[in-house]
Structure 1
Amino acid sequence: MKNQFAKVAALKNDYTTFTLATATKYGLTRYGLAGLIRDGVLTKTATNTYVFADYLEDDLALTTQIYQTAVISGITALILYDLTDEMPWIYDLTFPKGYHPNAEILARRYILPHYRTNDYYTAGITTARTPNGNLVRAYSVERTLLDVWQDKKIEAYIQNDACQRYLESEYFNYNSMLTLEKLQQKLYPESSLLRVLELIKQ
């Protein structure tokens, strides 16, 4: 029983909204989850989807658990790092090129998919937390800034605001700038982002 409590506590620390597959990784079974529902610890909100009592369902965390190759990117990633006040009704998710989930289902889940190859997909992947505290796969703050700066579909005021917020945030430090420089050289060698950040700092 004590071991069961430890498993539940570890899961709750990382995910207050989770799928059966996620619970299984923490050593919990479908039978064990049913017992937690009976005890009022969990609520089952859909097939193989659970939320801890007294917590709201975290749709972004749930979405990235369903699409395990997805990486939160673009404006959605800016939100994770508090680098924008934008609240779009869609999720920017990046997938490896060649993996194409059902487009109709993506639309129903309000997902805007992006597809990247090799280094453009893998570079800068890290773990972040949603505003509700759930773990998700996302691009790092440095990779996110680069992607947003290079994306011609994103409004200039969003790009500029993100840069200003980054320079004023806890993320901005010497090591972060080194990481940003390396990523820029690797992915966007012609990018003007570093020069712009230097100008803003002055």
Structure 2
Amino acid sequence: MSDLDLDYILDENKGFITFNQVKEAGIPYNAVAKKLEAGEIEKDERGVYRRPNVYVDELYTLQYRYSKGIYSLETALWLQGLSLRVPAAPVMSFPYGTNTKQIKEAGVNPVILRSNFEEGVVEVKTPGGQLVRAYEAERTLAECLRAVYKIDIQIIAPAFKTYVANGKIDFARLFRYAKMFKVEKKIQSYLEVLS
């Protein structure tokens, strides 16, 4: 019975399973241990397992390891399909007070936010097909314009162009975030150039 449950969860999660999912499903851990021993699954990292033939999804495993983290800035642009440039290091936002020492050691570029941390969080698919949390397109575009982040114009300009070309512009949402991040004039400039 537990092998079937385990296989079902693996199938539903595109070949991945987490320790929390095993626990929630009431599957005894020895069922996981048997699959590990038989080579049917491999340990990606502590608490994350996958079938051997499944793409190693670093973005998924990083978010599992740092569950408070939300993909933001250049990484969110890329995940939202607004940038073709794969970020050299994934960028994740964390709530104020998060210790970033281990996060930085894992190769993640952390951003600490004092406010609006939970605002505009959506689930997006990674290239491996796993769902991760990232900021929605409008928030990401506005936030990238904040001078403090120094995001390259070669990333921002094409992202706005792609956003406008997609034809799903949500002006109300975009300007709400522009106001939140105090970048209304910059947003206006980009939209005027692209209109």
Normalised TM-score (structure 1): 0.81
Cα distance, 1:199–1:62 mapped onto 2, change above 3 Å: same
SS at match of 2:162: helix
SS at match of 1:199: helix
Correspondence for 2:53: 54
Cα distance, 1:22–1:141 mapped onto 2, change above 3 Å: farther
Letter in 2 for 1:132: G
Letter in 2 for 1:179: R
Cα deviation, residue 22, structure 1:
4.5
Query: Residues 42 and 50 of structure 2 are in contact (CA less than 8 Å); yes or no, is this contact kept in structure 1?
Result: yes
What is the aligned counterpart of 2:124 among 113, 119, 128? 128
The separation in 1 between residues aligned to 2:156 and 2:17, in whole angstroms, is 32
The separation in 2 between residues aligned to 1:184 and 1:28, in whole angstroms, is 47
The separation in 2 between residues aligned to 1:141 and 1:28, in whole angstroms, is 38
The separation in 2 between residues aligned to 1:78 and 1:190, in whole angstroms, is 19
Cα deviation, residue 195, structure 1:
4.0
Cα distance, 1:17–1:10 mapped onto 2, change above 3 Å: closer
The separation in 2 between residues aligned to 1:179 and 1:28, in whole angstroms, is 43
- Of stretches 178-187 and 155-164 in structure 1, the one that deviates more from structure 2 is 178-187
What is the aligned counterpart of 1:173 among 168, 177, 183? 168
What is the aligned counterpart of 2:136 among 130, 133, 140? 140
Cα deviation, residue 126, structure 1:
1.3
Cα distance, 1:190–1:7 mapped onto 2, change above 3 Å: same
Query: Residues 77 and 159 of structure 2 are in contact (CA less than 8 Å); yes or no, is this contact kept in structure 1?
Result: yes
Letter in 2 for 1:188: K
- Of stretches 11-20 and 54-63 in structure 1, the one that deviates more from structure 2 is 11-20
Query: Residues 89 and 110 of structure 1 are in contact (CA less than 8 Å); yes or no, is this contact kept in structure 2?
Result: no
The separation in 1 between residues aligned to 2:56 and 2:175, in whole angstroms, is 37
Correspondence for 1:36: 35
Question: Gaps (5+ residues) in structure 2?
Answer: none
Normalised TM-score (structure 2): 0.84
Correspondence for 1:75: 74
- Of stretches 4-13 and 125-134 in structure 1, the one that deviates more from structure 2 is 4-13
Cα distance, 1:47–1:173 mapped onto 2, change above 3 Å: closer
Q: Structure 1, residues 60-115: CA drift from partner, whole Å, max 9, x if none?
A: 110111111100001111110121122232110100011213x1x22331111101
Q: Does 1:149 align with 2:145?
A: yes
SS at match of 1:184: helix
SS at match of 2:122: strand
SS at match of 2:86: coil
The share of aligned pairs that are identical, in percent, is 23
The separation in 2 between residues aligned to 1:26 and 1:137, in whole angstroms, is 23
- Of stretches 135-144 and 145-154 in structure 1, the one that deviates more from structure 2 is 145-154
Q: Does 1:118 align with 2:115?
A: yes
- Of stretches 28-37 and 78-87 in structure 1, the one that deviates more from structure 2 is 28-37
Question: Gaps (5+ residues) in structure 1?
Answer: none
Cα deviation, residue 15, structure 1:
5.6
Cα distance, 1:22–1:167 mapped onto 2, change above 3 Å: farther
C-alpha root-mean-square deviation of aligned residues, in Å?
A: 2.5
Q: What is the number of equivalent residue pairs in this alignment?
A: 194
